[in-house]
Amino acid sequence: MGEGKLNYEMRLPGYGGAGFFLRRTVAGDPPSSSALDIWLLGPDFCTATLGRATAPDFLPRIARYFFDVASSAAPEKQLPAFADGLSGVSVDVGASDQERVGLRIGLIIDLDDDLADPEMLDFETSRAAVAHTAHRIADLVGGVQLADFEELN
């Protein structure tokens, strides 16, 4: 990795240069292996929080959520919003069609402020990008089953 380049292990790119990026890190006192650097990138802003503590199941849960978004015919009607209080990350689905999906990703910067409004990123991306991100996260975490094939029987 060259100097000055960030290694985004998990990224969900959107149209127009927008994106949601995650990178595993070790942070806290004592150090926790369940921490992430989180970025929201819009056409005219970049918001980041580094070393954010997360629950051990955060990555598997968000991977499953992204997979469900990508595979649902109408995720904006069929899926509840994703919210994780420990990390301060939320995901809500807007309009979608067969190829694209609108996402609204929130990130609370100051978790100690009960009245804090999250930084918000509204962007559109392809269903293929959402599915790819779900699989990438599942591969990095390991042991995550994205599809529930039992429901098909």
User: Is residue 30 reached through a cis peptide bond, with omega within 30 degrees of 0 on the bond before it?
Assistant: yes
Is residue 151 in a domain?
A: no
* Number of domains into which the chain is organized: 1
Is residue 149 in a domain?
A: no
Is residue 21 in a domain?
A: yes
Is residue 113 in a domain?
A: yes
Is residue 152 in a domain?
A: no
Tokens read off for 26: 């070790």
Domain assignment of residue 131, given as a range: 10-144
Question: Cβ(101)–Cβ(128) under 8 Å?
Answer: no
Quote the pLDDT of residue 1: 38
Q: What is the pLDDT along the chain (153 residues), one digit of tens a residue?
A: 344 444 568 999 999 999 999 998 876 666 556 789 999 999 889 999 999 988 889 999 999 999 999 999 999 999 999 999 999 999 999 999 999 999 999 999 988 887 888 999 999 999 999 999 999 999 988 888 887 655 544
Measuring CA to CA, how many Å separate 129 from each of 54, 104, 107? 24, 15, 20
Is residue 24 in a domain?
A: yes
Report the CATH number at residue 91. 2.30.31
Residues in contact with 131: Cβ distance below 8 Å, sequence separation at least 6, in sequence order: 66, 67, 70, 71
Quote the pLDDT of residue 61: 95
pTM of this structure: 0.87
> Burial, 65: exposed, middle or buried (Cβ in 10 Å; 0-12, 13-18, 19+)?
buried
Report DSSP state, residue 149.
Answer: G
Residue 137 neighbours by CB distance under 10 Å: 25
CA 121, CA 12: separation in Å to the nearest integer?
12
Is residue 97 in a domain?
A: yes
Is residue 36 in a domain?
A: yes
Question: Cβ(67)–Cβ(50) under 8 Å?
Answer: no
Q: In terms of Cα–Cα distance, which of 113, 98, 132, 115 is closest to 20? A: 132
